Amino acid sequence: MTKFLPFECDLDNFISNLKTHLATNNQRIEALLSQQEKSYVNFVKPLEMIDEYLEEFFTPLSHLNAVNNSEKTQKVYTESLPLITEYSTRLSQNINIYNAYKKILANEKKALNSEQTRVLKLNILNFELSGAHLDESTKQRLQEINIKKSELTNNFSQNLLDATNTYEYIITNEADIEGLPQSEIDNAKFDDNGVIKYRFTLQMPSYIAYMTYGKNREIREELYRAYVSRAPQNAKIIDEILALRNEMSQLLGFKNYAEFSLATKMAKDEKSVLNFLENLLDNSISQAKNELNELQNIAPYKLESHDTSYYAEILKKAQYDIDEEEYRPYFAQKNVVEGMFTFLNKLFNVTCKQVDEKLWHEKAYAYDVYENNILRARIYLDLEARESKRGGAWMHNWQTHCTDEKEKEQLASAFIVCNFPPSSDMNPSLLRHDDVVTLFHETGHTLHHILSEVNENEVSGVNGVEWDAVEFPSQFLENFAYEPQVLKMFAKHYKTNEIIPDTMINKLVRSKNFLSAMGMLRQLEFSLFDFQLHMKLCQSEAVQNLLDAIREKTALIKPPKYNKFQNGFAHIFSGGYAAGYYSYKWAEVLSADAFYSVIDEKIFDSKTAKQYQNLILHRGGSQSMQELFHELMGRDADTSQLLRLNGITK
């Protein structure tokens, strides 16, 4: 069995080591290609592992650049991107590998197992999507496009991070912080030469705090304006990225990038995606309008975009007598993590044991994961916000479960990264319930990767899973963060150890779908904008015009002209969701359906939960999610369960 890799990243020598690694890979690939008789064992498996080892080498750098960003990590990461992109593009266009894969699939069809067959079929598809079968000049242009795209997406992300970190709003008038929870006041407070002041930033915990509780409307608008107008230089980058994606798609024989994107997804065509989104919109719009009317009724003026979070909090308290701040003492980060592990143990017989390992930051820690008392994986948690860290939350896979060229088992590992309120020597990190949901979500992704029993790394864990199905396991798990018997496993007061009272749980559950139809419209706006943006080439003002047109249907409060949401839409311009943001809702249909089956079977007695573990978690990407889901539920997904989950009635 292969041991877990130590977390190491030699920044000083990374580029030279990377060049050596790539040169060695190229030599090994040439040697593999020179073999007269190629087979799955002597050709495909070694190539798979070459890719796996490169991913394992490069991941610590990309991880560091995201969680401990510095001038040095930026420099090294930026220098490495063209090297990696050129290498991977050339490899993905190598006609000899492509032909060898096709020949092996034809010759060994009866001898190959289902995992190996899927590896070959997905590789052949990916080669064709990379242009391996095209002429040399076209392949050269595709390589140039890929290198430029990787540079632009990195610049987009860095611009956003820099803009987020640069901004601060200083409050000196005590009246302007009235109504904020004491913990948020303490986090914002600083001493400026004997004068107490309060600093608010665009980091999520700080920004959300003032937008939710800050009474001063002018300050809310100023913070909102700063947030939605971040990184204006990204507008030019967006134009370049869209033009390159469109050119690449047409070179590969697709009419647009949306069509190209769907080649590797569950949704069969553009019409299916648009119909799906518009159907959800039609079912949600009436309830969303009613929700907005309720908000407007308690506001003394016409609501603007920077008002909704503030009045939503007031309405939530009025309707449910619920104050998010009252809950935070029950959601101390350490208790939530340990309680979540207790839940996973009871549901899946998974045990997590902390290990002593020196990591990239003092707030990061590692756990070994056992399933049925057998060591399966290692996970790394880095959960608190800091300036050097990219915003948001994510799971990043590092090692993948597989057997190597010598048939030795390799165990999996992954990172869970969040941006929760920071802890201090005086105060623990106290989470909002939304943070708890986020932690469950990212852990759902993690389980999908690390509990794989697949032996071929390219279809193990999250690898090989259709992009519009990849959110299924994360959304499935996050739903349990509202279940009373699950909450009681970790929701205990950090000072008194008192378990959260039933009255508080009931309020939380009842408030779960508060303004859910408005939230649905917001996500549909993002999804429709992303997908339609990639159905034809949009440039400059056309990008904003498209967003404005979609907002005519989805935005019940018209955003101000200075709102340039697209410049911060990292999911599609520096993440993997281009022409695929709809995947969140697509996968949510699967997750809602499976979740309610488990709930209806009383959670811990659920046969569906065990089947989910065996089919979805253990099989990873070794089969189409369409097939796996059908095997799990015995039928196609029931879309009405998504509306049920969101409390939306037709």
For the annotated catalytic residues, the residue numbers are 442
Q: Dig out the tokens for 374 from the structure.
A: 């057998």
Residue labelled with tokens 């249909």: 589
Give the separation between CA 371 and CA 382, rounded to whole angstroms: 22
Q: Dig out the tokens for 602 from the structure.
A: 């009383």
SS3 label, residue 627? helix
Show the CA angle centred on residue 529, arms to residues 436 and 233, nearest 5°.
85
**Strand 374-384 to 412-420 pairing:** parallel
SS3 label, residue 367? strand
Pair 493, 548: CB distance under 8 Å: no
Helix crossing, 516-533 with 541-554: angle to 10°? 150
Helix crossing, 541-554 with 270-298: angle to 10°? 60
Residue labelled with tokens 């937008």: 211
Instruction: Give kind and range of the element (H or E) at residue 189.
Output: strand 189-192
Q: Which of 146, 137, 96, 102 is nearest to 249 (CA)?
A: 146
What letter does residue 167 receive in the DSSP assignment? -
**Residue 615: how many other CB atoms lie within 10 Å:** 18
Cα-Cα-Cα-Cα dihedral of 242, 244, 245, 246, to 10°?
80
Give the separation between CA 520 and CA 523, rounded to whole angstroms: 5
> What string of H, E and C letters represents the secondary structure of 252-315?
CCCCCHHHHHHCCCCCCCHHHHHHHHHHHHHHHHHHHHHHHHHHHHHCCCCCCCCCHHHHHHHH
- Per-position DSSP letters for 62-98, written without gaps between them: HHHHHHS--HHHHHHHHHHHHHHHHHHHHHHT-HHHH
Instruction: Give kind and range of the element (H or E) at residue 549.
Output: helix 541-554
Helix (H), strand (E) counts: the chain: 27, 10
Q: Which of 523, 451, 500 is nearest to 322 (CA)?
A: 500
Residue labelled with tokens 């992009």: 467
Give the separation between CA 589 and CA 596, rounded to whole angstroms: 11
Q: Which residues, other chains included, contact 293 with Cβ-Cβ below 8 Å and sequence gap of 6+?
A: none
Residue 63 φ/ψ region, left for φ over 0, alpha for ψ in the -120 to 50 degree band, beta for the rest = alpha
At position 618, the amino acid (one-letter code) is: H
Q: Which residues, other chains included, contact 170 with Cβ-Cβ below 8 Å and sequence gap of 6+?
A: 197, 198, 199, 200
SS3 label, residue 366? strand
Pair 306, 562: CB distance under 8 Å: no
| 326-349 residues labelled b (16+ CB within 10 A) or e (exposed) | ebbbbbbbebbbebbbebbeebbe
